A and B are shown apart, each in its own frame.
Chain A
Amino acid sequence: MLPNGHDPLNPGKVSPLYAAAAPGNTNAIREFERRRGHALNVLSLSGGGQNGAFGAGLLIGWRESGRRPVFDIVGGVSTGALMATHALLGTPADDAQLEEMYTQITKKDIYEERRIYSLATADSLADTEPLARLIAKHITAETLQRVADTYADNRVIVVGTTNVDYSQTWVWNMSAIAKDGNLDLYRKVLLASASFPIVFPPVEIDGHLFIDGAARSNIVILGLGGTERPASPLYGAGNLYLITMVCNSVLPRPCAGRLVTWQPRR
């Protein structure tokens, strides 16, 4: 049993959150439309390492345009997961934190490189302790309480990781974790979601190893999955806003897809 209350699924299957908010529900999006009483504004933030700075800038420019909606559902993977909480909370102070996270850091704030020979004894090429500290700085007990408060309003945040043991996309209901007040787990899932394989060490949660959600799917959106076609929207067409931290010109090849150029220090 995993900490979010679900058994691991068969390899290749998506976790139930993709399809349903709870067992027996038809589709998560339809369920949250019912609870919210209107068509939803869904935001999805992709992975992309340092290119997350583009997404942070976009969210802030969007606010400055006066057109940015309150997001009902936010999904994030990897760097997108790191900014998803503040995107959901959505105040100017949260924007300021995003700006700081993506314009005031260097590599040293994310990871420490290990020597290539360290792979003989270590599980990865870099140590992500600095990233864990960065997450802890921006995700505090107060942040967690605010996420829990939005969940009481049926607004929800989900984060995609990859379960190494099952080679499976595992989507976490971060709002449920916040409601439980489990700050340590919330931070761990964010770290896992951004833990690029081989370079960064996997994160162990309840005996399972988790890594970057982008290893299997760089985008996580609630309600895309399951075995049945969704029913029609309850309140007309909502919006799925997808911010991809990927270059136009290299789509479908992501910028992050060129990571083969990364050279370990010798």
Chain B
Amino acid sequence: MLTALTRSYFGARFLGYNFKMVSIPDSVNVGNDALAFDPKTMRAAFDAGRALGKRPDPWMTVPPSVGDIPGWALDQIK
């Protein structure tokens, strides 16, 4: 996931596009099993997404983690 995220960030910037991402807020308990398909957990995640989506600007412009990509390289594509 880290690789995919970093590639997406670099890719978007090299395409000359704004990078805008969201991920699930820490406050949401999504459980440990992504294949549980538990209605209560899914409802909580859905409601959290909906609340975030309504905000004026929920987007992060840089991924929360870009692994060991050096700072100077990140500066180049800001």
Q: Which residues of A contact B (CB under 8 A)?
A: 27, 29, 39-40, 42, 44, 46, 48-51, 53-65, 67-68, 99, 102-107, 109-111, 196, 199, 217-219, 221, 223-225, 229-230, 232-233, 236-249, 251-259, 261-262
| B15, A224: Cβ atoms closer than 8 Å | yes
CB-CB under 8 A from A256, the residues of chain B are 34
- In chain B, positions 21-75 with a C-beta closer than 8 Å to chain A are 21-26, 28, 30-39, 41-43, 45-56, 58-59, 63-65, 67
Q: Which residue of the partner chain, among B39, B58, B63, contacts A105 with CB atoms under 8 Å? A: B39
CB-CB under 8 A from A259, the residues of chain B are 33-35
The docked-state distance in angstroms from the alpha carbon of A251 to that of B5 is 10
The docked-state distance in angstroms from the alpha carbon of A64 to that of B56 is 11
Kindly report which residue of chain B lies nearest to residue A229, judged by CB atoms: B14
List 5 additional A-B contacts (Cβ < 8 Å) besides A218-B1, A224-B12, A246-B24. A42-B17, A58-B52, A105-B37, A247-B26, A248-B26
The 6 closest A-B pairs by CB, nearest first: A61-B53, A57-B49, A49-B34, A252-B2, A224-B11, A58-B49
A-B contact pairs, 18 of them (CB 8 A): A49-B33, A54-B48, A103-B42, A107-B35, A111-B35, A237-B16, A240-B19, A240-B20, A241-B21, A243-B21, A243-B22, A246-B1, A247-B26, A251-B64, A252-B2, A254-B1, A259-B34, A262-B33
Q: Which residues of B contact A (CB under 8 A)?
A: 1-5, 7-8, 11-12, 14-26, 28, 30-39, 41-43, 45-56, 58-59, 63-65, 67
Q: Which residue of the partner chain, among B18, B19, B35, contacts A196 with CB atoms under 8 Å? A: B35
CB-CB under 8 A from B53, the residues of chain A are 57-65, 68
| A50, B30: Cβ atoms closer than 8 Å | yes
| B46, A54: Cβ atoms closer than 8 Å | yes
Dominant SS at the B interface?
A: mixed
CB-CB under 8 A from B45, the residues of chain A are 50-51, 53-54, 57
Given known pairs A58-B50, A218-B4, A251-B5, the reply for A230 and B34 (CB within 8 Å) is no
| B8, A230: Cβ atoms closer than 8 Å | no
| A252, B1: Cβ atoms closer than 8 Å | yes
| A249, B4: Cβ atoms closer than 8 Å | no
The docked-state distance in angstroms from the alpha carbon of A62 to that of B33 is 27
